[in-house]
């Protein structure tokens, strides 16, 4: 059975403009397995409980595009804007008055993998983003550690 270790749920303010948050989880998987888990876009909906459906054709590459439907019925189109295979990727999506960026990084950490998620916005405040995301904004900000843990534990 796989177990998630020390989960860092708290995101801290990283700059005075309140536009950047970061958090990490530790999972008991080798780095490449963790990388494959978070880059297999069609299965995001299996461990991100905000996503009810997802469309993505092809491989994760820079400039690849996809879309997802959230629990509240919003269609979110995204584009991969940065990719270093086996290490990190960043995607963005347009908001009504700005842009949201999400970066995920996988690193080896004491016989396990550390997955870090960074979120930042351009063109609006994080408080505006929280209003846009709605009541379940904490699920986005806090990296869905419980659902990711459940998904990994059910891989056995």
Which regions of 6-64 does DSSP assign to beta strands (E)?
20-27, 51-56
Q: How confident is the model at residue 21 (pLDDT cuts 50, 70, 90)?
A: confident
- What is residue 38's DSSP assignment? H
Task: Map out the domains of the chain with their CATH numbers.
Answer: 4-153 (3.30.530.20)
What sign has the CA pseudo-torsion 87, 120, 122, 41?
positive
pLDDT in tens, 82-113: 999 999 999 999 887 888 899 999 999 888 89
Alpha helices for 21-125 (secondary structure H): 31-39, 44-47
């Amino acid at each position: 059975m796989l177990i998630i270790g020390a989960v860092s749920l708290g995101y801290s303010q990283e700059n005075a403009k309140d536009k950047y948050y970061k958090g990490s989880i530790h999972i008991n998987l080798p780095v490449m397995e963790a990388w494959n888990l978070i880059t297999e876009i069609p299965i995001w909906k299996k461990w991100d409980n905000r996503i009810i459906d997802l469309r993505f054709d092809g491989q994760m590459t820079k400039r690849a595009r996809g879309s997802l439907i959230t629990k509240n019925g919003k269609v979110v189109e995204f584009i991969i804007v940065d990719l270093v295979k086996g290490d990190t990727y960043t995607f963005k999506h347009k908001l009504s008055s700005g842009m949201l960026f999400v970066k995920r990084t996988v690193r080896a950490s004491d016989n396990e993998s550390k997955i870090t998620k960074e979120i930042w916005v351009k063109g609006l405040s994080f408080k505006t983003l929280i209003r846009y995301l709605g009541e379940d904004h904490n699920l986005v900000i806090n990296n869905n550690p419980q659902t990711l843990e459940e998904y990994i534990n059910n891989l056995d």
